[in-house]
Every structure is written in C-alpha cells, then in structure tokens.
Amino acid sequence: MTSYLYPYIQESINLNSKYKDNYILAIQYSLDGLSFVIFDTQEQKFICLKHYHFSEKNVALEELLLELQEREEWKLDEFKSVKLLIDNNLNTFVPKDYYQKESEKDYLSMLNIKVMTSVKSDSLTNDIINIYPAPSDIDNILKNNNRTTVAHTSSVIVESLIKEFSERIQGMRAFVNVKNNSYELTIINDTNLIFHNYFNFNTKEDFLYFILFTFEQLKIDNESIPLYFMGLIEEKSVLVELCSRYIRNIRFFNRNNNYNYINELDSIPYYYYYILYNSVSCE
C-alpha cells in the first residue's frame, strides 16, 4: 500500500489490546496532517501522542484511517470510543432558537461555504449549534465504526474554554489558535461566546492587525484583556513578541492537572495540542 503518512512526533507506549476498552482515541484531521492521542480512562492518563504529515494531497479520509490502523496495529473499534475531529475553517455557529435542521446547507451557503455531500452539526453549551461540511466519506466511516463520533475542532475549543473558565474569576478573555499562515480568534465574556472567526496572514503585522481590529470593533481594552495562545506557535516567536508590545497580558496554556501524562509528553508544549487533549472531556 502506498504510504500517505509520515511520523512527525512519535511518543509511544506498549498498547496492550487487553486494556483497549479503557482507552479513548481522539484523532484530529486537517488538510496537511493527522494527529491523535490515546487516553486511559481508568488511570485518567494520556499514554500516547503522534502526528503524521501527509505526503500527498486530496487523499480520502477513509483511506488515511485505514493506513493509520495498519501502521499502529490497532483497529478503531477496539477502543472504548473514538473521536474524529475535523480541523478546518469551514463552519458557522447558529443560536439554537434560530436553528433548523433542514436549513443546515443554507446556513453554510450564506457564507459561501460549499457543501458537496454531508453536513454535520454539534450542539454546544449555551444553546449554540456549530454547523460544518464533512468529508464525503464520513458517513461510511461512522457506519463501519459504531464507536466513532465526529465533531469540529472549533466546537472543542469553545466547549473547553467555557468549561475551564467557568470555574475561574469571570471576565473577558481572548484566545488565538495558530495554524499554518492562519489562526482562529475566539473571545469569551464570562461563559458566553462573543466572537469566533478565522484570519489568514502573510506577515507578523497582519497577524497583529486582525486581533487589534477585532478588539477595537468590540470595544475591548487591549491593555487589560488576557490573550491566550495555543496551536503551532513558539512562546518566543516574532508573532508573540509583536503582540506583547500592544497587548499587555499574553498567556499560554498549562496542563490540566486533573489528568496524568506519560513522561515522554513532558518535552512537548501542552498548548500545541490543546484541542486533542481537551477533546476527551467534551461530549
């Protein structure tokens, strides 16, 4: 079989099939890569994290999952549950009061989001519905793997942030999830979603401009609001350095101490894989 996946990060542990019924597998699928974590529900411990980079474009998701199972020598249906996360910028949030199941494609078309086949939706906290187009083979994947569910990564971000900060001092907070030449900006006030959008950038000035412009439009004080970073960014990057000149309160996520982690994961910044780590606690 032609190989479409190449290891980027590989932190391994002996996965005894006898205990797989205790394991949750979370897979994050984007256009240029596939990452996954395995979580032991009995020990409340993350025991594996890997990332693969695609060697070819436009390969069907179902084919990628088949190869992943061959390489890892396990099957999706061996796990207690599998969470398949769709990672792209094709989604929209709709208040539950205005949501109609039969109009899902219409919501997306109003944003010029093309829907070739399937549309999925996630029901979130605070009566929010997240609607997004799914890969053409997603229904077949779900049919053949009855322990697998699908969600959009933006759903995980919003749900995780609302849950985490509901237990802290209330207030306005901003979050940037950095990808390759793009990022998504999420703003939450207390436990309410105020803003969520995606921005492409070519320069560090572009990166900063969209954040400050959003703050200005929403009348947010950039001297006081905390700005949290997650995703593909270094703490000492030029992007962070520039943002810190204009936004006083720059932060990065630390580990959730409610869970345990194998020692091998100590070398990988937690915020790189914030979505994967937090997906295991999102319903």
The three-class DSSP label of residue 265 is: helix
The predicted model gives 171-188 an average pLDDT of: 96
pLDDT above 60 for 186: yes
For residue range 11-69, list pLDDT tens digits in order: 556 676 666 789 999 999 998 889 999 999 999 999 999 999 888 888 899 999 999 99
C-alpha count within 13 angstroms, C-beta hemisphere, residue 283: 4
Every domain range in the chain assigned CATH 3.30.420.260: 169-252
Q: What is the pTM of this model?
A: 0.94
Query: Distance between CA 44 and CA 260 in Å, rounded?
Result: 6
Every domain range in the chain assigned CATH 3.30.420.250: 1-166
Fold of 1-166: Nucleotidyltransferase; domain 5 (3.30.420)
Task: Report, at the CATH architecture level, how domain 169-252 is classified.
Answer: 2-Layer Sandwich (3.30)
The predicted model gives 146-169 an average pLDDT of: 92
Instruction: Give 5-70 as a DSSP string.
Output: EEEEEEE-----GGGGGGEEEEEEE-SSEEEEEEEETTTTEEEEEEEEEESSSS--HHHHHHHHHH
Tokens of 281: 């606690």
Torsion of CA 265, 267, 268, 270, to 10 degrees: 70
Query: Distance between CA 121 and CA 152 in Å, rounded?
Result: 8
